[in-house]
A and B are shown apart, each in its own frame.
Chain A
Amino acid sequence: MFRKKKHAAPEATFKEVWSKGNIATKLSFFFMGSNALANKQWVKGIALLLAEVAFIAWFVFSGISAISMLSSLGPIKNKKVVYDNAQGVYITKQPSNSVLILLFGLLAIIICIAMVYLYIVNLRSTRKNYVLQRDGKHILTNKEELANLFDSRLHDTLMTFPIIGILCFTILPTIFMISMAFTNYNRQHPIAFSWTGFQAFGNVLSGDLSGTFFPVLGWTLVWAVAATATTFFFGVLLALLIESKGIKHKGFWRTIFVIVWAVPQFVSLLMMAQFLDYQGALNNILMNIGWISHPLHFIDSQASPLVARITVIIVNMWIGIPVSMLVSTAIIQNLPTDQIEAAKIDGANALQVFKSITFPQILFVMAPSLIQQFIGNINNFNVIFLLTGGAPMNNKYNGAGSTDLLVTWLYNLTFGQEQRYNASAVLGILIFIISAVFSLIAYRHTNAFKEG
């Protein structure tokens, strides 16, 4: 039913609108909304006009300077400590605050783009009214325009606030972050910094951080694959186990597992770190049962990197399997049973049925969410940060431990001892590129994102 709206060729060119339009139409090229006002579309006209006035006022008073400061990120690069005789104390003359200059500069650019867009919108609206007038058709009244917001333009109404939110709280910060990668914003330049091109990329890819970047990247990928695969595979098995014939109180069993997933991670993982400590409860239990004679190093700083990494993956299974169990349960319940029945009649055993029918079907249904999980695991901050904090330590790395992922290392670089904001921004970009490449390949292969 919802006919796909085709972009029909404009019934009139802007040139025609300009040359043949009446005064109000012509004025619209300079004073946005004049045409709308002339056609008594008050709300639209006033909104457009106000936007233009506000924009020009802002642009003159602060927009120009905000944008022009962007090129240098502020004129004063060094602080100056001077003695204030009147007060009898030293005061510090601060350098330009480059963070704010960068942020407001980017905001100014976004506003200008929004304004250009608004201008085009204004022209299109003018053209539409012009064409309607020329062809002697009914021009929408103010009321009809407003009513349309809840009918044929419902999408505009509903999308406005989400888009503003995304613009302010996702897009602007993301662009800011990307810009930061091209500056020398770090411990040495904490307030006033400058553009330095690809220098920070150089530090990460071939400079003093490269010895950490590539091994950590390797572990991040291994982790993401292992974490995604183990939780998925064993989640499916657990679901099959609970769903299998003869097991009673299925809801009760599922709930037990769901509880683990429900406890906030900063509780369960912080406590898990103590549970697994060298002198922790698990080692005590194991020694009391007599399974081990000496405590084991699971995730503390003396642990071997391999043991710690395996432990992290196992703890992640503890947290992740309940979710995939739930999802697989739903899929299993909805699977067509005729194929399985047919296979059983043909004499296939349970393993064969699982291997060639159940599992592939679940995999097919789950593929898109698996890709999302994979990306999520690349950025899985909580498990590493709360559980190991990167331990065991690795003296070959710079500011990271053996279980640190790129994202926790990024956090350390920003909020830890070294405060290398630019390097962490570079890491953010590289994480993005890696995620993008992997999802592109995956989506291509699973063909699941036809809609795209």
Chain B
Amino acid sequence: MSIWKKVALGSTAVLAAMSLAACSNGKSDSSSSSSSNQNTKLTLWVDTNQVSYYKKIASDFTKSHKNISVRVTQNPTGSANAKTDVGKDPSKAADVFEAPNDQLGQLADSGYINPLSPKDSNNIKSNYIDVAAKGVTWKGKIYAYPYAQQAQTIYYNKSKLSASDVKDWKTLTSKGVVATDFTNAYVMWPVFFSAGTKLYGDSGEDLKGSTFNSAKGVNALKWFAEQKNNKGVMQTSNALNQLKKGNAQAILDGPWNAANIKKILGKNFAVAKYPMIDVGGKNVQMQAFLGIEGFAVNAHTKSPKAASQLAAFITDKKSQLIAHKEAGQIPVLKEAVNDSVIKNDPVADAVIEMSKPGNSVLMPKLPQMSVFWNDVPPLINGAYDGKVKPDQYKAQLDKLAKHSSKK
């Protein structure tokens, strides 16, 4: 008989289990007991390219809050994936982390983040631009400290196209080539808004409020199909490269790429709001999704108060202006928006113009957005390249409406 091995195996397993069990017990104890203010340690997750300047901002914070120390690190896979990064293990995620506003609904419903205190909420409602406050509100409560607004604009080479050329899609695409990506729902879906349909109602919180499965929605899909034969429209996964090669003279992109585009175009860099497009026989403004970037407080944090203070600090006027200077983020605090630096930035100017009602729509925050982001790209891309035939448009939109409004 093989007794020895079994003895060793058994006892090691038992010991391993004991240590595991001990760890788990110890953990639950510590989380319930430590709420004292002495030497609070906080972690802050930001995107990789933001780490350096948030470290500076955080060190300013610790100067005024002596008993708090802050560790700034990069988030695992980018703030665009905050939902999955935090969801993997909320208790290991940072106390304060960056998230785009469309994920707030799911983050809040899952219990990953805390709502803001009434005081901070009122501050945001009164001192921030309206769309920012609205963008971070979910079911009547504010869930994140907004610090930047993002909307796509058109970037073009001004030696090839004039400012008036880019005002209308028709002249734009007849005088030059615009490179874009029809597989990207974030870029392409807002054509449905231009066509006059709604996604999750006016509030973006109404599960049954979508109206895109209509004749107007079909018009939007038709518009995508028309672009296939438009010589001035280039489908590409690497618009920047095409812009650089001179194969395209304009691209649709967001402020996060502005620095890269400036590098490529140099003094020919120009930016403008989206052009007008012809959808369903009408000449309407091409719209964009408006995203609000914010910092949320992890519901698992051991010191919710300190975390809220940190989140408020790193989104104040000074920090928003630093974020603009370092990474081209467009502020959302009224005072910061009115700052001369912002006023003189053409990118900020175009984004702020795009953020006005009629030019863009706030990204809805419903958890069902995850279904939406999954289902839309194949549909738009299918309409564009003809895999989805015109006679299926209505049926496909109905299917999307049904799927994306399921509880």
Contact = CB atoms under 8 A, between A and B. Distances in A.
Q: Do chains A and B touch in the complex (CB under 8 A)?
A: yes
Contacts of A117: 6, 10
A259 B182 CA distance: 37
Nearest to A127: B1
A95 B111 CA distance: 9
A393 B10 contact: no
Contact of B382 (A95, A168, A393): A393
A200 to B, nearest CB: 16
A155 interface: yes
A44 B18 contact: no
A62 B111 contact: no
B115 A81 contact: yes
Contact of A84 (B21, B119, B304): B304
Nearest to B109: A188
Contacts of A39: none
Contact of A50 (B11, B141, B242): B11
A187 B106 contact: yes
Nearest to B119: A88
Nearest to B305: A87
Contacts of B242: 279
Nearest to A420: B370
A42 to B, nearest CB: 13
Contact of A393 (B17, B112, B299, B378): B378
Interface string B335-360: 00000000000000000000000000
B13 A58 contact: no
Contact of A121 (B7, B12, B116, B235): B7
B370 A187 contact: yes
B117 A58 contact: no
Contact of B304 (A54, A89, A401): A89
A90 interface: yes
Interface string B30-67: 00000100000000000000000000000000000000
A281 to B, nearest CB: 11
Contact of A90 (B304, B381, B388): B304
Nearest to A156: B5
B379 A395 contact: yes
Contacts of A157: 4-5
B5 A159 contact: yes
A118 B10 contact: yes
B196 interface: no
Interface stretch (A23-31, A103-111, A263-271): A103-111
A51 interface: yes
A391 B266 CA distance: 34
Given A44-B4, A153-B2, A415-B84, A190 B110 contact: yes
B16 interface: yes
Nearest to A91: B304
Given A91-B114, A92-B114, A190-B110, A114 B9 contact: yes
Nearest to A79: B111
A418 B17 contact: no
Nearest to A33: B7
A57 B25 CA distance: 14
Contacts of A415: 84
28 contacts: A54-B15, A57-B18, A58-B17, A58-B18, A62-B24, A89-B117, A90-B114, A94-B299, A95-B111, A104-B20, A114-B14, A121-B7, A124-B1, A156-B4, A157-B5, A163-B9, A164-B9, A164-B16, A187-B106, A187-B110, A187-B367, A190-B112, A279-B236, A392-B387, A393-B382, A397-B378, A398-B375, A399-B374
Q: Identify the 6 closest CB pairs spanning chains A and B, nearest first.
A: A156-B5, A79-B111, A118-B10, A395-B378, A92-B299, A393-B378
Given A81-B115, A164-B9, A418-B371, 16 more contacts: A51-B14, A54-B18, A58-B14, A63-B21, A79-B111, A88-B117, A90-B116, A118-B6, A118-B11, A155-B5, A188-B407, A300-B237, A301-B182, A301-B183, A302-B384, A418-B374
